[in-house]
A = this chain, B = another copy of it.
Amino acid sequence: MTEPTKFILTEDRIPTHWVNLLPDLPGDPLPPLNPGTMQPAGPDDLTPIFPMDLIGQEVSTDAEVEIPDVVREIYKLWRPTPLFRARRLERELDTPARIFYKYEGGSPAGSHKPNSAVAQAYANKEAGISRLVTETGAGQWGSALALACSLFGLECLVYMVGASYDQKPYRRALMESWGAKVIRSPSDTTDSGRAQAEHTTGSLGIAISEAVEVAAQAEDTNYALGSVLNHVCLHQTVIGQEAMAQMEMAGAEPDVVVGCVGGGSNFAGIAFPYVQRVIRGEAKTRFVAAEPAACPTLTRGAYRYDFGDTVGLTPLMPMYTLGHDFVPAPVHAGGLRYHGDSPMVCGLVKHGLVEARAYKQNETFAAAIRFARTEAILPAPEPAHAIRAVMEEAEAAKQAGEQRTILFNLCGHGHFDMSAYEAYLSGSLEDTEFSEADMEAALERLPDAPAIA
C-alpha cells in the first residue's frame, strides 16, 4: 500500500533549458525552402511573421536553449506536471509491463499546448509585438495562445475552422474568456478566406492561410503556430526532461516511449530528450508515434517538400505529407488532423528511430474508456491513440514474458471532448479510413520541389 502512485517535482526542478535535437538529427540538414526561389528559406522569409528570437530557436545548432526566467515563472502555474505509475491499469491488463505516464492535462488549458504558447507570447512581447494571430481546429492551441496572451497583455486573434466554430461553441467561449477574438474561417477578413469561401466548413490549412496573411500584413502583429515547427517542439521538451527526472525517482528506465502525433509537438516533448540519448549511443529506447488511420501522415504519406497551409503562403517543409489541400475525415481527435508533421519527427521516422502506427477511432475510444475506468483520468481523443499503442506494447510484453517499461505522454484531458465520448458510447462513431485515391490525387497537386534523398 505504500508504493508511490505518482512522482512529483518541486518548482525549482522546472528545467532551465529546452533540449534542441536539431544538431543531433541524423542525415543531411533539410532546410525549409522559399517556394519562389526553391532556395533555403532564411530569416528574411520569416521576419514578417515571427520575432527574431523564435527564428533563432528554429534554426539553432545549440544543443540546449535557455528558458527565460519570465517563462519559467509562468510555467510554475502548472509545472512541473506529475508522472504517474499506472498500477491499476497494469493490473487491469494483467501485464508484466510497468506503465508510466506524464500528465499534461492539469494545465489551465487542459493540455500541453501552453508550454509553447507562453514561450511564444513572451518572445513576441519582448519584440514589441502587440497582437498574435493564429488558427485553431479543435480549439486546444487557440485556447492555449489566448491564455498566454492574457498573461502578457497581448491581443489575440484566432481563426477557428468553420465546422468547429459551429459545433464547439464551448471551445470558443474558453478562448473568449481569456480575452481572445475568435473569427470563423473561411472569413471575409482575408484574401485567403475570400478565395476559399466555397469551402464553407473550412479546414486547418485554410485557417493557417488566413492567420499568416493577417500577420504578414500588419506591423504590430505576428503569427504563432502550435506544432510542427522546430521551436515549438523545442519548447515542449520540458515534458521529457521532467519525465526523465521523475523516472529516475521511480528507479525506472523506459524501454519504449509512446506519444500521439498530429503536428508532433507533444510527441517531441516527451521523446526528444530520450531520442538525443539514443542518437548519442547512451541508451537503446524504442519510440512509437500513434496517429489516426483517417489521417495517416507518418504511415502512409509521401516524404516530400510541401506547404504547411492550403493556400501556399508558408515555406516548403520537408515532411511526410498527405498533400497540403488534403482535408481529413472529421474524426474527433481534431489535434491529429493535419496533412503534414513536424519535419524533425518525420526525419526520425525516415531514419528508423521512431516507429509510426495508425489506429481507427473506435479502438482508440475503447482504450480511453478502459483507461478512465482504471486510472480515473478521462483522456482527450488525441492521447487515446497513445493509450491504444501502450496497450499493444503491454500485451507484447505479456506475450514475451518480459517486464518491459513503457512511458507515454497523456497530453490532455477529455473534458472538452464529451461530444466525442457521447458519440462513441452511443455507437455512432465512424471508422473512416484513408483512401488511396485521395493520396494519388494529393500527390499530383504537390508543389514542384526538389525530391528528398
Cβ of A277 < 8 Å from any Cβ of B?
Answer: no
Cβ of A173 < 8 Å from any Cβ of B?
Answer: yes
- Least CB distance from A251 to B in Å reads 16
Cβ of A422 < 8 Å from any Cβ of B?
Answer: yes
Picked from B76, B177, B415, the residue with its CB within 8 Å of the CB of A369 is: B177
A375→B77 contact, CB < 8 A: yes
Given known pairs A177-B425, A425-B177, the reply for A377 and B8 (CB within 8 Å) is no
Cβ of A378 < 8 Å from any Cβ of B?
Answer: yes
Name the residue of chain B whose CB is nearest to the CB of A108. Answer: B376
B6→A76 contact, CB < 8 A: yes
A11→B1 contact, CB < 8 A: no
- Least CB distance from A242 to B in Å reads 13
- Least CB distance from A237 to B in Å reads 21
Cβ of A63 < 8 Å from any Cβ of B?
Answer: no
**Which residues of A pack against B, CB within 8 Å?**
1, 4-6, 8, 10-11, 69-70, 72-74, 76-78, 84, 88, 106, 108, 110, 114, 147, 150-151, 169-174, 176-179, 369, 372-378, 413-416, 418-419, 421-422, 425
- Copies of this chain, tallied across the complex: 2
Name the residue of chain B whose CB is nearest to the CB of A168. Answer: B418
- Least CB distance from A154 to B in Å reads 12
- Least CB distance from A138 to B in Å reads 14
Task: Provide the bound-state CA to CA distance between A416 and B69, in Å.
Answer: 33
B174→A421 contact, CB < 8 A: yes
- Least CB distance from A204 to B in Å reads 22
Task: Provide the bound-state CA to CA distance between A51 and B252, in Å.
Answer: 42
Task: Provide the bound-state CA to CA distance between A177 and B4, in Å.
Answer: 27
B110→A415 contact, CB < 8 A: yes
B173→A425 contact, CB < 8 A: yes
Given known pairs A108-B376, A425-B177, the reply for A418 and B170 (CB within 8 Å) is yes
Picked from B69, B172, B374, B419, the residue with its CB within 8 Å of the CB of A170 is: B419
